[in-house]
Amino acid sequence: MRVCIGRSASVKLGDIGIEPAILQCMKRVAADVSPSEDRPLRLRLPRAATKGRALSEHWDFGAPAKTIDAALFALRGGSEDEATRARLRRAAVARLALDHFELAARLPTCVMALFPEHFGRLAKFLTEGPIGRYADRFYVKDVRYALGVTVPCGAMQMDLKSRIGPKLILRDALSTGSLRAALAYAVSGGLGCWGNNHIDLRAMKEFNLAGWTQSFVRMSEVLAANPEIRGIAGVSWFYDPVLARISPSLAHLHEIPMRHGAFLVKMTTTEDDIRNATIRSQMRRELYDKGEYQPARYLLAWPRAALLAWAKGTAPAPRRRDRFRQAARFVITAARNS
């Protein structure tokens, strides 16, 4: 039986197996403010948390973090130095996690089981990460983690409420001359709520074929528990079909979903995409420098029915003790298909 926890109950960090030591660590970070900083933070953060949660499905992934920043720094006139800004951001993230964490969807036990390690890693980063700065690329994710709108799924994280705008689909149809993505989008009820997957560079130990497969198995269980979610989508340079030739070890990231009902939409490539595609691979960097590889950014969307069919396969629903063996079969199947 799939056990789900979520919107029907008020769930706090202490209710999902977070160790007392981690909660105490969060409390110490939350208290690292002066009396003059504490009062406006206590007064403004609850409203900012509510607004940030409401904006979590906006196309701007950083919208919740921008809302929290507005609450932190609106009255300070931008006069704080980088170290002060980082300290207040850390205090805000800790307070959001302790006081404003609220799951945005029902979650299966396989995802709930990841929260202790997930928040343990966050607490460690808040206390042991670069103290004098808080990089935006991490802060925007941590605000979402603390609010409960983005949850761990192993190799990838999942935003529980996202959207695929019809303008993206129309633009793709006009630029490619193909209606494949548009038809798949329409059939899947594309205007509704989608889950969104992405990676966190601080949590990459499972980013391999086995971990990627298990991550999507977990996300399929989130979909099974939340019928309103239309499917899973993600935007990245590593969904580029060209990588099957340049970096075969990454080919499964788009090939397996595409073989099982997913569709691709080409997006505008940014400088961040180019940097991310070349910074960890000397070969890709050299090909890019020689003009033989141009990173491209794609949206990959895996509609609900197709993803659930892939995850389930033809086997009957497993009993709890059989889940590990079924996950292993998924990995073997994915490896053969890649």
Residues in CB range of 125: below 8 A, 6 or more apart: 138, 142, 202
Kindly report, residue by residue over 178-211, the tens digit of the pLDDT. 898 999 999 988 888 999 999 998 988 888 999 9
- 111 and 131, same domain (yes or no): yes
| pLDDT at 320 (0 to 100) | 47
Stretch 295-322: mean pLDDT: 77
Burial class (CB in 10 A: 0-12, 13-18, 19+), 265: buried
Neighbours of 311 (CB within 10 A): 20
CA distance 60 to 45: 20
Average pLDDT (282-292) is 95
Tokens representing 148 are 């409960």
Q: For 236-260, what is the mean pLDDT? A: 93
pLDDT at 334: 41
Q: What is the mean pLDDT of residues 236-255?
A: 92
Query: In terms of pLDDT, which residue wins out, 298 or 78?
Result: 298
What's the whole-number mean pLDDT along residues 152-163? Answer: 94
**Lowest pLDDT segment from 168-177, 246-255, 322-331:** 322-331
Q: Are residues 90 and 232 in the same domain?
A: no
8 and 100 in a single domain? The answer is: yes
Residue 254 reports pLDDT greater than 60: yes
Q: How many domains does the chain have?
A: 2
Which band of pLDDT confidence, cut at 50, 70 and 90, is reported for residue 14?
A: confident
Q: Edge to edge, what strands does the sheet with 298-303 contain? A: 150-152, 157-162, 193-198, 229-236, 298-303, 263-266
Provide the CATH number for the domain around residue 332: 3.40.630
Regarding whether 327 and 205 lie in a shared domain, the answer is yes
Residue-wise pLDDT tens digits, 58-77: 888 999 999 999 999 876 65
Instruction: Return the pLDDT at 176.
Output: 86
3-class SS of residue 265: strand
- Quick one: average pLDDT of 3-10? 52
Q: Which residues contact 332 (CB under 8 A, 6 or more apart)?
A: none
- Same domain? For 235 and 128 the reply is no
pLDDT number for residue 331: 44
Is residue 302 domain-shared with residue 191, that is, in the same domain?
yes
pLDDT (0 to 100) of residue 327: 47
**Token pair of 204 as six digits:** 């990459």
Q: What is the mean predicted confidence (pLDDT) over 144-162?
A: 95
Q: Give the structural domain span for 290.
A: 157-337
Question: Which residue shows structure tokens 């994710």?
Answer: 141
pLDDT over 80 at 325, yes or no = no
State whether 164 and 141 are in the same domain: no
Regarding whether 68 and 92 lie in a shared domain, the answer is yes
pLDDT at residue 337 tops 80: no
Of the residues 148, 170, 202, the one at which a domain ends:
148
User: For residue range 217-227, what is the model confidence (pLDDT) as tens digits?
Assistant: 999 999 999 99
Report yes or no: 127 and 25 within 8 Å, Cβ to Cβ.
yes
Residues 126, 213, single domain; the answer is no
Which whole number is the average pLDDT over 227-236?
95
Residue 231: its pLDDT value, please? 96
Q: Does 324 score more than 70 pLDDT?
A: no
pLDDT score recorded for residue 131: 81
Over the chain, what is the mean pLDDT?
Answer: 87
